[in-house]
Structure 1
Amino acid sequence: MLNAVTSSAGYSVTNDIRYGAGDRGTYDLYVPDDADGQTPVVVFFYGGGWDSGSKDIYPFLGQSLASAGIIVAIPDYRIYPEVQFPAFVEDGAKAVAAVVTAAREGEMGVPAGSHPLFLMGHSAGAEIAGLLALDRHYLADAGLASMRLAGFVGLAGPYDFLPLTEERYKRVFPPNRRQASQPVNFVTAAAPPMLLIAGDADTTVDPANSRSLGDKVRAAGGKAIVDIRPGVDHIEAVSAMATALPIGDRAIRPKVIAFIEELK
Structure 2
Amino acid sequence: MLKLIEDKPEVPANIKVSRDLVYKVTQEKTLKLDIYHLDSLDGERPLLVFIHGGSWKKGNKDDYRRYLVDYAQKGYVTATVAYRFSQEATFPAAFDDVVCAIKWLKSRAADYHIDPERVAVIGGSAGGHLAMMVGYHARDENYQGECATDETDAGVKAIVNLYGPVDLTTDFAINHPSVQQLIGMEYSGETKSAYKACSPITFITPDDPPTLTFHGTIDDIVPIVQADMLDEALRKENIASYYHRLDGWPHTMDLSLKINNYCQYYMDEFFQKHLE
Residue 123 (structure 1) aligned with residue 140 (structure 2): no
SS of match in other structure, 2:222: coil
Q: Distance in 1 between matches of 2:197 and 2:212?
A: 22
Match of 2:213 in 1: 196
Q: 1:255 aligns with which of 253, 263, 266?
A: 266
Q: Distance in 2 between matches of 1:11 and 1:138?
A: 36
Q: Which runs of 4+ in 1 moved over 6 A?
A: none
**CA-to-partner distance for each residue in 1:143-180, whole Å, 9 max, x for gaps?**
35645421111001111232311234212213352110
Query: Aligned residues: percent identity?
Result: 22
Matches within 5 A, 1:96-175: 96-103=102-109, 106-108=110-112, 110=113, 113-114=115-116, 116-135=118-137, 136=139, 137=143, 141=148, 143=150, 146-163=153-170, 164-173=174-183, 174=185, 175=191
Q: Distance in 1 between matches of 2:234 and 2:144?
A: 19
| Structure 1 unmatched ranges of 5 or more | 241-245
Shift of 1:232: 2.4
1:35–1:207 Cα change, 3 Å: farther
Match of 2:188 in 1: none
- More divergent stretch after superposition (3-12 vs 138-147): 138-147
1:210–1:36 Cα change, 3 Å: farther
Shift of 1:60: 1.7
Shift of 1:61: 2.1
SS of match in other structure, 1:178: helix
- More divergent stretch after superposition (252-261 vs 36-45): 36-45
Shift of 1:125: 0.6
SS of match in other structure, 1:250: helix
Match of 1:207 in 2: 224
Q: Distance in 2 between matches of 1:34 and 1:233?
A: 38
Residue 35 (structure 1) aligned with residue 41 (structure 2): yes
Q: Distance in 1 between matches of 2:144 and 2:39?
A: 32
- Does the CA contact (< 8 Å) of 1:19 and 1:95 recur in 2? yes
Shift of 1:64: 2.0
Q: 2:57 aligns with which of 51, 60, 64?
A: 51
SS of match in other structure, 1:254: helix
1:147–1:3 Cα change, 3 Å: closer
Residue 73 (structure 1) aligned with residue 79 (structure 2): yes
Match of 1:16 in 2: 20
Match of 1:181 in 2: 198
- More divergent stretch after superposition (167-176 vs 221-230): 167-176
1:121–1:144 Cα change, 3 Å: farther
- More divergent stretch after superposition (9-18 vs 79-88): 9-18
1:18–1:146 Cα change, 3 Å: closer
1:113–1:128 Cα change, 3 Å: closer
- TM-score normalised by the chain length of structure 1: 0.87
Structure 2 letter corresponding to 1:132: V
Shift of 1:94: 0.5
Q: Distance in 2 between matches of 1:203 and 1:29?
A: 33
Residue 62 (structure 1) aligned with residue 68 (structure 2): yes
- Does the CA contact (< 8 Å) of 2:8 and 2:63 recur in 1? no
Shift of 1:123: 0.3
1:79–1:177 Cα change, 3 Å: same
**CA-to-partner distance for each residue in 1:204-230, whole Å, 9 max, x for gaps?**
111221221121111112111111112
- Does the CA contact (< 8 Å) of 1:3 and 1:60 recur in 2? yes
Q: Distance in 2 between matches of 1:251 and 1:80?
A: 32
- More divergent stretch after superposition (42-51 vs 203-212): 203-212
1:128–1:142 Cα change, 3 Å: farther
Q: Distance in 2 between matches of 1:145 and 1:211?
A: 33
**CA-to-partner distance for each residue in 1:107-131, whole Å, 9 max, x for gaps?**
11x3x64551111111001111101
1:86–1:216 Cα change, 3 Å: same
SS of match in other structure, 2:21: strand
| Structure 2 unmatched ranges of 5 or more | 186-190
Shift of 1:46: 0.6
